[in-house]
Amino acid sequence: MARVCEVCSKRTQMGNSVELRGKAKYLGGVGTKITGIARRKFKPNLQRVHVTTADGTNKTMRVCVSCIRSGAVKKAVRSKPFRVPGEGKAKASK
C-alpha cells in the first residue's frame, strides 16, 4: 500500500538536504557556503484512524494529521466495552 492520505492524496515528495558550512555575514562571518546537496524524501505524517463515513459506517483509513486536525474526517465513537447488568437500576433506586 502506498504512503498516501486517503482524504487529500498527500504523498511522499522529493527535496534537497543542503549542507552548509561557515558563519553567516550578519553574525560577523564571511558567509555560509554550500558544501553538499543530497536528495531526500519528505514523508507525510499518516495515521491509521477509525473513521465514520458519510453513510454512517465505520472504516479504517490512512489519513494525514493535517486532515484529522482540520476536521476533514470524523473519528468513530467507541462505545463502552462492557456494562454490568442492573448497574443503572441500583443507582436510580438510591
**Residue whose C-alpha cell is 467507541:** 78
pLDDT tens readout for residues 2-15: 899 999 999 999 99
Residue 94 falls inside a structural domain: no
Residue 91 falls inside a structural domain: no
22: helix, coil or strand? coil
pLDDT tens readout for residues 52-70: 988 989 999 999 999 999 9
Task: Name the pLDDT band for 85 (thresholds 50, 70, 90).
Answer: confident
Residue 89 falls inside a structural domain: no
What is the predicted pLDDT for the residue at 94?
Answer: 55
Residue 83 falls inside a structural domain: no
DSSP-assigned states of every residue in 44-70:
--EEEEEEE-TTS-EEEEEEEHHHHHH
The enclosing H or E element of 89 equals helix 87-93
Residue 84 falls inside a structural domain: no
Residue 60 falls inside a structural domain: yes
Q: State which residues form the domain around 17.
A: 1-77
Its pTM stands at 0.66
Q: Using the predicted structure, report yes or no on whether residue 71 has a pLDDT greater than 90.
A: yes
The domain tally of the chain equals 1
CATH number at residue 56: 2.20.150.30
pLDDT tens readout for residues 8-48: 999 999 999 999 999 999 999 999 999 999 999 999 999 99
